[in-house]
Amino acid sequence: MGVVEKIKEIEEEMARTQKNKATEYHLGLLKAKLARYRAQLLEPTTKSSGAGTGFDVQKSGDARVALIGFPSVGKSTLLSKCTHTQSETAAYEFTTLTAIPGVIDHQGARIQLLDLPGIVEGASQGRGRGRQVVSTAKTADLILIMLDATKPEEQRRLLEIELDAVGIRLNKKKPDVVFKRKTTGGITLTATVKLTKTDEKTIRSILASYKLHNCDVMIREDITTDEFIDVLIGTRKYMPCLYVYNKIDAISMEQLDKLARDDHSVVISCEMGLNLDYLIERMWDELGLVRIYTKKRGAHPDLHDPVCLRKGATIEDVCNGIHRSLAANLRYALVWGKSSKFNPHAQKVGLGHLVQDEDVVSIFTK
């Protein structure tokens, strides 16, 4: 029996099993098995032969945004409108057959927008080159799920299922669980909160199914069985996501208002160019980029070419963003801006200092 058949068999058994306190343990074991088979399917041990059109696109710019959606929802049109990159567009499905990159220049940052081929139901199991599409999406910093506002809400649920199956968790935080392997000593399981969505017996059985007999586990939040399996697998990607509803010119004002009020939703019309500026602003907010302006001694700061980093960046990241050798030779840095204790005056700082958006930094080397 192949891996796909095994996955189907487990999914059918899970669908048949009633969810209650008595079946929690059994369902936990089935979920662990399912996660293991899906991992095998997505990362096969043997390399497949035969060349094809490559999906690998070199990461460029300060951040990468992946455009995902079913065929013919307007992804290529959005890429053309936002980046001036011509991606083939037509009224029929599957116009785009490979990944096409474009660049959005916004507030001094370069954001790479990647138009991925339309995915179909069953993409996580390899249908319609879906495996390559969703694995490329894992390299992004933000996912845009493009939806047709004229079609039922089921399309969003199906896309979420496909991405969830390949280990992409949308708009979720990593579970607060510390997991360490050991060579001896058995399993030490500690929970600092009451577990209401799973129990110790289920967790120990999942560890045994992964042949983990010596490890330390500390659970610091009320997690589910699925979240614990995610921690064990360790390859899950927790990514911000925006749901972009296109073709709003073809729906009623009531429908438009309802979609616009949903969390993480943006409503646009690519053909009419409606709300595209707001979409780019929302992308900027979700990416959480920090612009750092550099200043040479005795000169004005360079406000045209910032070093763009992610939130939580330090002076060390600024040094690495300018040149890899700078951090090793740093004597100190002067910082003006929100992160300076003496704002508007400069603060003398070291490598570990956290920078904030639009800080001005002057580097002094040994």
Indicate whether 93 pLDDT > 70. Answer: no
Average per-residue pLDDT for the chain: 86
The residue ranges of every structural domain in the chain are 3-46+175-233, 59-171+237-287, 290-365
Indicate whether 40 pLDDT > 60. Answer: yes
- The Cα–Cα gap between 215 and 206 comes to 13
For residue 89, the model assigns a pLDDT of 52
DSSP at 71: T
- Rg, the chain, Cα only: 24
Is CATH 3.10.20.30 the right assignment for the domain spanning 290-365? yes
> Using a CB cutoff of 8 Å and minimum separation of 24, what contacts does 335-344 make?
335/359, 335/360, 335/361, 335/362, 336/295, 336/360, 336/361
3-state helix, strand and coil shares in percent for the chain, rounded to the nearest 5: 35, 25, 40
Overall average pLDDT of the 255-262 stretch: 94
Q: Distance of alpha carbon 44 from its chain centroid, rounded?
A: 22
Is-contact 105 113, C-beta < 8 A?
A: no
The tens digit of pLDDT for each residue in 148-171 reads: 999 998 999 988 988 888 889 999
- The Cα–Cα gap between 203 and 180 comes to 15
Q: Assign 140 to helix, strand or coil.
A: coil
Overall average pLDDT of the 286-309 stretch: 92
Number of Cβ within 10 Å of residue 224's Cβ equals: 15
Q: Which CATH architecture has domain 59-171+237-287?
A: 3-Layer(aba) Sandwich (3.40)
pTM of the model: 0.82
Q: Assign 118 to helix, strand or coil.
A: coil
Closest CA to 251 of 279, 277, 281, 272: 272
The tens digit of pLDDT for each residue in 192-220 reads: 999 999 999 999 999 999 999 999 999 99
